[in-house]
Amino acid sequence: MSLPLFRIGFMPLVDAALPILAREQGFAADAGIEIDLVRDMTWATVRDRLLYGHSDAAHLIAPLAIATTLGRGRAAVPLCVPFVLGLNGNAITLSTALGDRLGLGDGLADPMALGGRLKTLALQRLAAGRPLRFGVVHRYSSHNYMLRYWLAAVGIVPDREVEISVTSPPFAADALAAGEVDGICVGEPWNSVAVDRGVGRIALVTAQIWRRGVEKVLALQTHTLAERGEDVAALVRALHAAARHFVAPEAVAENAAILARREYLDAPVDTILRAITDRIRLSRGAPPLHVPDFMFQYREAANFPWRSQAAWLYSQMQRWDGLPVLADEAKAAEAVFRPDVYRAALAGSGATLPGASSKLEGAIGDPLAAGSTQGRLLLGNDRFFDGRAFDPDDIAAYLAALPKG
């Protein structure tokens, strides 16, 4: 008898690793399911295949799952997220020329200090009628929100003082090389590809902006969850096993080789290996630098879909779409993340299960023991670089205190 099948849409990015490894390393079969992977080059097409039944689940940018549920730019279709595919793993790469102008050194820049220098230059370029332009992977992406969070916090007004446009990840290095953008905020391996081509320099990683920023998620239509609850639970277990394997030091070389294949990322294996081992080459020819927590795929219950993460994304969506925070909408956005499904799927396994479903985001400095219903949960530094914390129960007050866009 054939196993229940999940066709999973994905983009060629390092953080598509878990569904790929679940298929290739047998974790899906162990969980009693089969995974087929469907690769696309735009998030719009990954989303449309999910909405029109070409795929059953998708590797998706988290804000797009929320935007689709809320009906931004198209008719609303409810999606759900039972599993987070990882935290962070993105970087801000500046064109070599801009990097030189800003005096980037051998290490990663300090977000505040770099922001100050960037502000001066941004205003000069604006006055000269050639505003700086940054590329992000999608309007509804954490990349867009992280970049804007940083810019606004250092006193640069996005859209007015710098332009922000959309650049597809596999073409980001080309856009830098052609001078279409002065900087990009994209996922790996596309920053490293730009660095190795000598067209860009990595200035910051997004983990420096928010140490535990939610990144890609596994998204499904809610009717799939309702109709195939047991299969979805098996998929969550397969992805969790793949996440544990992903961080095992003895597995990284083989994992990188699998991800590099033509049908998956179709990218140089060395760039992938650097990304998944938190060793980042900042400029061409430089030795890779160890960047702790660059990608965060497993520890500290990283795959648990905290409702407060969805709430933070909703806060930024309203901030940059220029719309008010509505209580009902905030609730609907939070409800896209399904910690209950995650818990039920992994009950009785070795996985750590947080007791709460929501938390203050950005409030932890030193590692803190947190309540759990299974396993021991120790949460590490989750700070935003400006020291602010996000209370999901008071989004309006949080936004009121942030710099105006």
Partner 1 sequence: MRIAIIDTSSTRAAIISDGLRESGLHDLVVIDAGQPMLRQLEQAKADVVLINLENPSRDILEDFFAMSRALARPIAMFVDQSDTESMGAAIDAGVSAYVVDGLSKQRIRPVVDVAVRRFQAFSRLQTELAEARTALADRQSIDRAKAILMKRRGLDEPAAYALLRGHAMRTNRRIVEIAESIVTSDALMGEMP
Instruction: Name which of residues 240 to 299 contact partner 1 (CB under 8 A).
Output: none
Instruction: Name which of residues 366 to 395 contact partner 1 (CB under 8 A).
Output: none
For residue 48, the minimal CB distance to partner 1 (Å) is: 6
Q: Is 137 in the site for partner 1 (CB under 8 A)?
A: yes
Residue for token pair 């290095």: 173
Instruction: Yes or no: say if 400 and 370 are a contact pair by the CB < 8 Å rule.
Output: no
| Contact with partner 1 (CB under 8 A) among 63, 86, 115, 170 | 170
For residue 313, the minimal CB distance to partner 1 (Å) is: 16
| Contact with partner 1 (CB under 8 A) among 165, 178, 226, 230 | 165
How far is the C-alpha of 198 from the C-alpha of 390, rounded, in Å? 38
For residue 355, the minimal CB distance to partner 1 (Å) is: 38
Rounded (to 5) percent helix, strand, coil in the chain: 40, 20, 40
- Those residues whose C-beta lies under 8 Å from the C-beta of residue 267, and which sit 6 or more positions away, are 12, 189, 190, 193, 259, 260
Q: Is 139 in the site for partner 1 (CB under 8 A)?
A: yes
> Which residue's CB is nearer to partner 1, number 7 or number 299?
7
> Which residue's CB is nearer to partner 1, number 52 or number 401?
52
Q: Is 48 in the site for partner 1 (CB under 8 A)?
A: yes
| Contact with partner 1 (CB under 8 A) among 26, 42, 370, 388 | 42
From 135-143, 335-343, 362-370, 372-380, give the range in contact with partner 1 by CB under 8 A. Answer: 135-143
Q: Is 38 in the site for partner 1 (CB under 8 A)?
A: no
C-alpha dist (Å) from residue 20 to 7, 15, 85, 265, 305: 11, 10, 11, 10, 20
> Which residue's CB is nearer to partner 1, number 54 or number 197?
54
Q: Is 55 in the site for partner 1 (CB under 8 A)?
A: no
135: nearest Cα among 164, 96, 157, 177? 164
Q: Is 50 in the site for partner 1 (CB under 8 A)?
A: no
Residue for token pair 């989004």: 395
- Residues contacting partner 1: total by CB under 8 A: 24
> Which residue's CB is nearer to partner 1, number 54 or number 299?
54
Q: Is 53 in the site for partner 1 (CB under 8 A)?
A: yes
Instruction: Yes or no: say if 192 and 271 are a contact pair by the CB < 8 Å rule.
Output: yes
Q: Is 73 in the site for partner 1 (CB under 8 A)?
A: yes
| Contact with partner 1 (CB under 8 A) among 1, 52, 105, 287 | 52
What is the token pair recorded at 217?
């998620």
Q: What are phi and psi of 150, to 5 degrees?
A: -65, -50
- Sequential DSSP letters for 328-395: HHHHHHHTTB-HHHHHHHHTTSS--EES-S---BT--SS-EEE-EEES-EEE----BTT---B-TT-H
> Which residue's CB is nearer to partner 1, number 141 or number 297?
141
Pairing of strands 279-280, 289-290: antiparallel
For residue 234, the minimal CB distance to partner 1 (Å) is: 27
Q: Is 7 in the site for partner 1 (CB under 8 A)?
A: no
Provide the binding-site residues for partner 1, judged by CB under 8 A.
40-45, 48-49, 52-54, 72-75, 137-139, 165-168, 170-171
